[in-house]
Amino acid sequence: MPGLNSIMDTSLSALFAAQAGLATTGHNIANANTPGYSRQEVLFAARKPDMTAYGAIGRGVDVQGIRRIQDEFLLNNLRSQTARGESFGSIDSALSEVESILGSIDNDHLGDALSDFFGAWNALAQPPISPSMKTNVVTRTVSLVTDFHAIDESLAALEANIESSINLEIGNLNRLLTQIADMNRQIMGAESGGEPANDLRDQRDLLITQVSAIAEVSVHEREDGTKDIILAGRTMVARDSVTLFESTYEKSSDGYRMTIVTGGTRNEVRLSTGKLEGLLTSRDVHIRDVRAKLDGVAKKLIDEVNSLHSQGRTATSSGLEFFTGDNMHTIGLNEAIFNNPQLVATGRTTAPGDNDIALAIANLGNVSSGTSGALTVNDVYRDLLTDLASNRSTFEFMVNNQQNVVASLESKLASVAGVSLDEEGASMVRYQNSYNAAAKVISTVQELYDTLLNMV
Single residue among 353, 371, 391 that ends a domain in this structure: 391
My answer on whether 329 and 381 are in the same domain is yes
In a domain, 377, yes or no: yes
pLDDT at 261 (0 to 100): 58
My answer on whether 299 and 362 are in the same domain is yes
Total residue count of the chain as it appears in this document = 456
My answer on whether 354 and 430 are in the same domain is no
Q: Is the pTM of this model over 0.75?
A: yes
* Total number of domains in the chain: 2
In a domain, 334, yes or no: yes
My answer on whether 330 and 387 are in the same domain is yes
pLDDT at 260 (0 to 100): 62
Report residue 174 CA to chain centroid gap: 16
My answer on whether 145 and 48 are in the same domain is no
pLDDT tens across the length of the chain (456 residues): 467 888 899 999 999 999 999 999 999 999 999 999 999 999 999 999 888 888 888 899 999 999 999 999 999 999 999 999 999 999 999 999 999 999 766 677 899 999 999 999 999 999 898 899 999 999 999 999 999 999 999 999 999 999 999 989 999 999 999 999 999 999 999 998 888 899 999 999 999 999 999 999 999 999 989 999 998 888 899 999 998 887 665 555 555 566 665 556 676 777 889 999 999 899 988 999 999 999 999 999 999 999 999 999 998 989 899 999 999 999 999 999 999 999 999 999 999 889 999 999 999 988 765 544 578 898 889 999 999 999 999 999 999 999 999 999 999 999 999 999 999 999 999 999 999 999 999 999 888 888 888 876
My answer on whether 372 and 448 are in the same domain is no
In a domain, 261, yes or no: no
Kindly report the three-state secondary structure assignment for every residue of the chain. Answer: CCCHHHHHHHHHHHHHHHHHHHHHHHHHHHCCCCCCCCCEEEEEEECCCEEECCEEECCCEEEEEEEECCCHHHHHHHHHHHHHHHHHHHHHHHHHHHHHHHCCCCCCHHHHHHHHHHHHHHHHHCCCCCHHHHHHHHHHHHHHHHHHHHHHHHHHHHHHHHHHHHHHHHHHHHHHHHHHHHHHHHHHHHHHHCCCCHHHHHHHHHHHHHHHHHCCCEEEECCCCCEEEEECCEEEEECCEECCEEEEEEEECCEEEEEEEECCEEEEEEECCCHHHHHHHHHHHHHHHHHHHHHHHHHHHHHHHHHHHCCCECCCCECCCCEECCCCCCCEECHHHHHCHHHCCCECCCCCCCCHHHHHHHHCCCCCCCCCCCCCHHHHHHHHHHHHHHHHHHHHHHHHHHHHHHHHHHHHHHHHHCCCHHHHHHHHHHHHHHHHHHHHHHHHHHHHHHHHHHHC
My answer on whether 296 and 437 are in the same domain is no
3-state SS, residue 2: coil
In a domain, 297, yes or no: yes
In a domain, 254, yes or no: no
Q: Which domain covers residue 65, as residue numbers?
A: 4-69+419-455
My answer on whether 337 and 437 are in the same domain is no
Is 151 within 8 Å of 381 (Cβ atoms)? no
My answer on whether 48 and 105 are in the same domain is no
My answer on whether 43 and 105 are in the same domain is no
Single residue among 372, 391, 410 that ends a domain in this structure: 391
My answer on whether 10 and 150 are in the same domain is no
Q: Is 40 exposed, middle or buried (0-12, 13-18, 19+ CB in 10 A)?
A: buried
In a domain, 229, yes or no: no
In a domain, 132, yes or no: yes
My answer on whether 374 and 322 are in the same domain is yes
In a domain, 203, yes or no: no
pLDDT at 18 (0 to 100): 96
